[in-house]
Amino acid sequence: MILVSLVLLIVPFVFSRSMVSLINEMLIMALAGCALNLMLGYGGMVSFGPAGLYAVGAYATAILLTRYGAPFIVAVLAAPVVAAIVGAIVGWFCVRRSAVYFALLTLAFAQIIWTIIFEWYDFTNGDNGIVSIPIPEVLYVGSNIYYFSLAIVAVCIFVLWRIVNSPFGATLQAIRENPMRTEFIAVPVRRYQLAAFVISSFFLGIAGSLFCVFAGSVFPDYAHWVKSTDMLVVCLLGGIYNFAGPIVGSGVYILISKVISKNTTYWMFFLGIIIVFLVLYMRNGMVGFAAEKIFRFRNKLGAGNGEGKS
């Protein structure tokens, strides 16, 4: 943990500018992944629409800054609130259905968000997106924007970590394992799922807002369902049953897509092959796979020393 944070702190001194912005992207994707994974891995709710809420966060910041000239802090802080409100409305409908119907509902809502962004020229600038968003100059000094993202992502991921390890997180996992039984012990299942949906939306909104600050522009594509599948892949790559899964997944995913796309235009092909391999042979993702290996290795070691009896 400490090692990782140290490495992340000295990144701007060691790596080139482009590498730093790549890591910045990874951080934001890691946050989005963790936010999604609260639903996916802990709640067992497969959402196809995280990008919709991510885009709501990004556009909230962008519109407040460009249209209303709001102070930067206000624009950034408003993003998660707006995303959470939208998430509450969308989630209220979605948690009424489960499995494939839940997934299709989230997909439909995200596509509606995309349509609104795409069509409402007067407010969102439509498919032109919003460019040259006035970001405070101070963030462009040195690597300030990187530290800005790092600080916010670190705090958010810590909060998410506390949430999944709280009684709330445990209840959520119980719902994932068996919703009916959980209902029988007097847990209001839907209310918990809605809460997970709103919390997830809140953090997706932060991730969107951070990306808006980082990129200085927003586009309707942020809400598109392909972006949602990106986030799902990030979670799966790392492993959805480990908290660190999406964080590792984000790093690997962005690295893979950038490295392969630099060498060939057919990077999606190779990404697809990697995903197929992952689904067929490493179902718990990379972190899950590593954890299992370490566990086995420890057991072996323990048995060798005559300590591990079980």
Partner 1 sequence: MTIEAFIGQALSGISVGMVLFLIAAGLSIIFGTLKVLNLAHGTIYMVGGFLCYILTSKLAHIPGAFWWALLFAPIAVALIGGVIEVLLLRRIYSQEMLYQYILTFALILILGDTCKFFFGVGYQTVSVPWPVNGNIALWGLSFPTYNLFLIGCGIVVFLGLSALMRYTSLGSIVRAVTHNRETANALGINVPRVYTGVFMLGSYLAGLAGTLMPPMSVVALGSDMAVIIECFIIVVIGGLGSLPGAFLGAIILGLLNAFGIYIIPKLALAFPFMLMIVILIIRPWGLLGKPE
For partner 1, the binding residues (CB under 8 A) are: 40, 46, 93, 96-97, 99-101, 103-105, 107-109, 111-112, 115-116, 118-120, 225-226, 229, 232-233, 236, 240, 265-269, 271-273, 275-276, 279-280, 283
Q: What's the min distance (Å) between Cβ of 128 and partner 1?
A: 16
| Entry field: residues in the chain | 310
Q: By C-beta, is 101 or 140 nearer to partner 1?
A: 101
The two most distant CA atoms of the chain are separated, in Å, by 73
DSSP secondary structure letter of residue 130: B
Q: What's the min distance (Å) between Cβ of 179 and partner 1?
A: 14
Give 140: exposed, middle or buried? Use CB within 10 Å, 0-12, 13-18, 19+. exposed
* Helix H or strand E segment including 291: helix 285-304
Q: By C-beta, is 12 or 220 nearer to partner 1?
A: 220
Distance CA 42, CA 249 (A): 16
Q: By C-beta, is 146 or 219 nearer to partner 1?
A: 219
Contacts of 142 (CB under 8 A, 6+ apart): 12
Q: By C-beta, is 132 or 263 nearer to partner 1?
A: 263
Q: What's the min distance (Å) between Cβ of 247 and partner 1?
A: 18
Rg (CA), the chain: 20
Q: By C-beta, is 81 or 99 nearer to partner 1?
A: 99
Q: By C-beta, is 24 or 182 nearer to partner 1?
A: 182
Distance CA 279, CA 302 (A): 31
Q: What's the min distance (Å) between Cβ of 293 and partner 1?
A: 20
Q: What's the min distance (Å) between Cβ of 276 and partner 1?
A: 5
State whether residue 283 is helix, strand or coil.
Answer: coil
DSSP string, 162-174: HHHTSHHHHHHHH
Q: What's the min distance (Å) between Cβ of 10 and partner 1?
A: 35
Beta bridge partners of 218: 130
Q: Is 217 left (phi over 0), alpha (psi -120 to 50) or beta?
A: beta
Q: What's the min distance (Å) between Cβ of 7 and partner 1?
A: 29
Structure tokens at 203: 């953090």
Q: By C-beta, is 80 or 285 nearer to partner 1?
A: 285
Q: What's the min distance (Å) between Cβ of 117 and partner 1?
A: 11
Structure tokens at 255: 């690295």
Distance CA 194, CA 222 (A): 23
Q: By C-beta, is 266 or 295 nearer to partner 1?
A: 266
Q: Give yes or no for a contact between 222 and 55, defined as CB atoms under 8 angstroms apart.
A: yes
